[in-house]
A and B are shown apart, each in its own frame.
Chain A
Amino acid sequence: MASRPELQAPPEIFYDDAEARKYTSSSRIIDIQARLSERALELLALPDDGVPRLLLDIGCGSGLSGETLSDNGHVWIGLDISPSMLNVALEREVDGDLLLGDMGQGLGFRSGVIDGAISISAVQWLCNADKSSHEPRLRLKAFFGSLYRCLARGARAVFQVYPESVAQRELILTSAMRAGFAGGVVVDYPHSTKSRKEYLVLTCGPPSIATVVPSGKGEDGESCSDDSSADEGDRTVSISDRHRPRKKQKVNKKGRGREWVLKKKEQMRRKGNVVPPDSKYTARKRKARF
């Protein structure tokens, strides 16, 4: 990623007509957004009774995440600050209702009417002060406070966020806790730089069994499915490396050995890469006549 969009301009200016179009015509972004919202919906843990719920999509943009909600049969209301993004959403004829609004000004909804809220890559925008009147702390407080009021008791809110730093994550999380939410951060694929994703899972109401934060994916070395292209790095069973000084070469005639290969494979798995399963052929040398 070249540079974070929130460092370049305020959201209503950054997502202009050109950027909105670019955002929605890129199949890669569509794919990622769909996957993120699918996971967010999973973390929402709505009761599995087939009844459509009224959900809120905060920072809905062009409605990519809303589409996932519609596909799962839910009714949603989307909120975004960028008119250009909402125009694209209109063109795409999304099923949900759209509102032009600023989440930092608080959400204007009645109390306890919303069954759940998701937000994909949006909340970190609140940490920026784009105008002289903006104070990130107050904006976060207004946002989480109004969200807490409009959610039904026991309802969840799941935010996928890209915090810039530890301090920023801390800021978002404390604001949420001050508003009365219980919950925490779920990290998917924590060992990988590329597929690592953070979700803030918040529950309305006092701590109980329902507020236990679910565990992230890939924590126990489970491979993530999105790197179907596999990693480009060579995974050959190294025999020797001529450019290294002699001392560091701990290679015998047979090569690095099975143990070393297994260790490396385990490392790659923890990073979330796709690694072939271990078998009796793992780290075996090819026959010379091959």
Chain B
Amino acid sequence: MRLLTHNMLSSNIKGVANGFPLRIVAEKVIEKPVEMNHDFLKNMFAKLDWKAFVDASRSLGYVELPDEADASMLESSEFLNKFHHALLELHLEEGALVCPETGRKFPVNKGIPNMLLHEDEV
């Protein structure tokens, strides 16, 4: 699972008011290089929750991203490279996502988070 997906996901358990962001417990992180697309990065930048994104990248062991970012930084190719790497190339392969309110763990196996809820959580 990429951080792009993590930034979109929130906990869906019944009664949880704010299930975002899910905390990451990383056991294995892999990197898969992909081609960079500037338009896509600019498009996604507006939608990202930057703080959650930086926190998530740190929990995967990537500390290069700045705490604050604004749209003007997208002009710098150095920043774009880091942004691209963290957003699309880092994959959480094994670990878990933890709901911030209830502490419920969603296990991640082979890069696929198991978001299935139990019957009493729907």
Contact = CB atoms under 8 A, between A and B. Distances in A.
A97 B5 contact: yes
Contacts of A87: 110
Interface stretch (B23-31, B41-49, B62-70, B77-85): B41-49
Nearest to A108: B12
Interface string A94-117: 010111111001111110111000
Contacts, number: 82
A133 B117 CA distance: 13
B116 A102 contact: yes
A107 B12 contact: yes
A14 B94 CA distance: 27
Given A51-B43, A52-B39, A102 B119 contact: no
Contacts of A112: 47
Interface string B72-95: 000000000000000010000000
A86 B113 CA distance: 11
Contact of A99 (B40, B43, B47, B115): B115
A110 B40 CA distance: 19
Interface in A180-213: none
Interface string A73-109: 0010100010000110010000101111110011111
A150 B47 CA distance: 12
B20 A110 contact: yes
B40 A97 contact: no
Given A77-B8, A109-B8, A110-B49, A52 B37 contact: yes
Given A97-B5, A108-B9, A133 B116 contact: no
Interface residues of A, number: 32
Interface in A33-54: 50-54
A121 to B, nearest CB: 21
A273 interface: no
B8 A113 contact: yes
B115 A101 contact: yes
B43 A105 contact: no
A146 interface: yes
Contacts of B40: 51-52, 75
Given A52-B39, A102-B117, A109 B10 contact: yes
Contacts of B115: 99-101, 108
Contacts of A100: 112-116
A196 B17 CA distance: 43
A90 B12 contact: no
A108 B39 contact: no
Contacts of B10: 108-110
B11 interface: yes
Contacts of A107: 12
Nearest to B120: A133
Interface string A56-85: 000000000000000000010100010000
Interface of B: 1-2, 4-5, 7-12, 19-20, 34, 37, 39-40, 43-44, 47, 49, 88, 110-117, 119, 122
24 contacts: A52-B43, A54-B8, A75-B4, A77-B8, A86-B112, A90-B112, A98-B1, A99-B112, A100-B115, A100-B116, A102-B116, A102-B117, A105-B116, A106-B12, A108-B9, A109-B9, A109-B10, A110-B7, A110-B10, A110-B49, A112-B47, A113-B47, A142-B122, A150-B8
Given A52-B37, A52-B40, A106-B12, 15 more contacts: A52-B43, A53-B43, A54-B43, A54-B44, A77-B8, A90-B110, A98-B112, A99-B115, A100-B113, A105-B117, A110-B20, A110-B49, A114-B8, A133-B122, A150-B8
